[in-house]
Structure 1
Amino acid sequence: MVAKFNIVKNCPLRIFIWILTACPVFSEEEQILHIAQQLSEIQAYNEAITEYKRYIFFNSDSLSIDVKLTIADHYLHLRKYQDAKNTLVPILSENRNDTVGDMIRIKIAVISIAQGLLSDAELELVRVSSFSRSNQIRNEANSILFIAFVFDSRWEKAQAVLKNNPDFVNGYNLKKTDSILNICRHKSKKMPVIAQWLSTFLPGLGQLYSRDYLNAANALAISLITGYMTINSLYNGYYQEAILTDITLLWRYYNGNRVKAYNIAKTLLDNEDLAYQKKITDILKNSEENHETSFTTILDSSE
């Protein structure tokens, strides 16, 4: 069976499609759908999408929504997130089943997270978790909402969701995740501002606060040199040179030092957040309660 599958997978797609269409067992519409399904099995997603769209063009039956959902899943496999979203959004107006509608909203939220549109994802997920009649779907929405808050470094909200919905991270992993969130919650978010103010009083001190010792030494040395040049020019009566050159340089390096101190501290803070996000996503990937489709799409997009 494996050998046969590999032969089909490796043969040219046109020959493969010709063989399938030559089969007299199916009607024309069924042939198109069968070809699309076979292409999906060999992960020829672009070609499968084309065939599924052909099927939708010729049919408006109850299968159309399922086919569109399959097309959206294929776009997700190809990481064509906007195409997947554009496929899903119209289904909401066509669908009359609340449960299916909630699942579609969750998929749209997953795509928004993969695109970095965390606010859009939050709106969809809060709506589903608040109004869905299905406990399973509400739990799914909350678990993905947790991921959205983690990716947005909103640690308090992430911990609140985890506390109310602990089922998707079980046992030891739950305690480990909660411990990481506690560290993140109490981590200072004022580091960049503090670093900037420290460098306002003494150039290089903000970089030293951010543990960037090389830039701290450079900032202090440059400020001392330009300061000495300014004082020396004023002392020797070179007032024009002091005003036009030395003070300009001193002011430029002084302000640049403050901005750089802020940016270094901000980068350090962002890198710490990314490290904690990775720890949490690694825990979720290894969790037995992992919701395969949604979690895999989101977590893979973060790599």
Structure 2
Amino acid sequence: MSVAIVTDSTASLGPDDAERERITVVPLQVVIGADVYTEGVDVTSDMIAEALAAFVPVNTSRPTPDDFLAAYEQLAADGAAAIVSVHLSAKMSGTLDSAVLASKQASVPVTCVDTMQVGIATGFAAGRAARVRDAGGDALAVADAARMAGESSTTMLYVDTLEYLKRGGRVGAAAALIGSALAVKPLLTLRDGLVVPLERVRTTAKALSRLEALAVEACEACSDGYDVGVQHLANESAADAVAQRLATTLGRDALDVDEVGAAIGAHVGPGMVSVTVTPRE
């Protein structure tokens, strides 16, 4: 293995997917009340949703530079000559900063990539990097593939309330929506690595319908194909319905639906439904 790929647990890669793609996942920490958990190990999205609903404080903590360095050194010991480390937006988390600090101490060259995205969009970027590596690409080509995937992705979110994003300081320009009429259901997107307003819709049903329409537009704009995924937190029935309707419109048998990881779930809150579209280039 000449080029190894690392990402963080917010990328929503399950253990089977990570193993198949040969991607190393470094987990974030999730703090519920006074208890500290490791994402992907001993905390579930259901635990996050229940804690938030009960007004139990929930916070997240980035991996330390030592966490990343340990992963890098293990990969080097396993034969990696170079590493590409692919992470969520640096404007949303200090995870990339930890990776960069660790890269300066690693025994092999490490290129850190800011996808400017969150959730499965980061996972798609890491997966794109893996495919370029498997096709024989060098570290530069692998990093460029991840960066381009992140930059070209469209991530759209429906949230029941902005309260959880506000608590975690992740609301960005969408803060302008706070204090709007309670009936407003915000649609959000990622732009330049920050959560920003996309549209305001009056009801949940109309918001989800609009989410579907915007996702179809994003898919139809991809001339060379696309990857698309649906995620949710404690809103499986709505996410399944969105995925089924999207699949029918896009002419696919089905779309993958996943519950968002605990770290992201802590900030978006129960009820969230998102759609991510990443063009294939």
Report the TM range for the smaller structure's normalisation: under 0.3
**Greater RCO (Cα-Cα under 8 Å, separation 6 or more):** 2
Q: TM-score, normalised by structure 1?
A: 0.23
Q: TM-score, normalised by structure 2?
A: 0.24
Where is the helix percentage greater, Structure 1 or Structure 2? 1
Where is the strand percentage greater, Structure 1 or Structure 2? 2
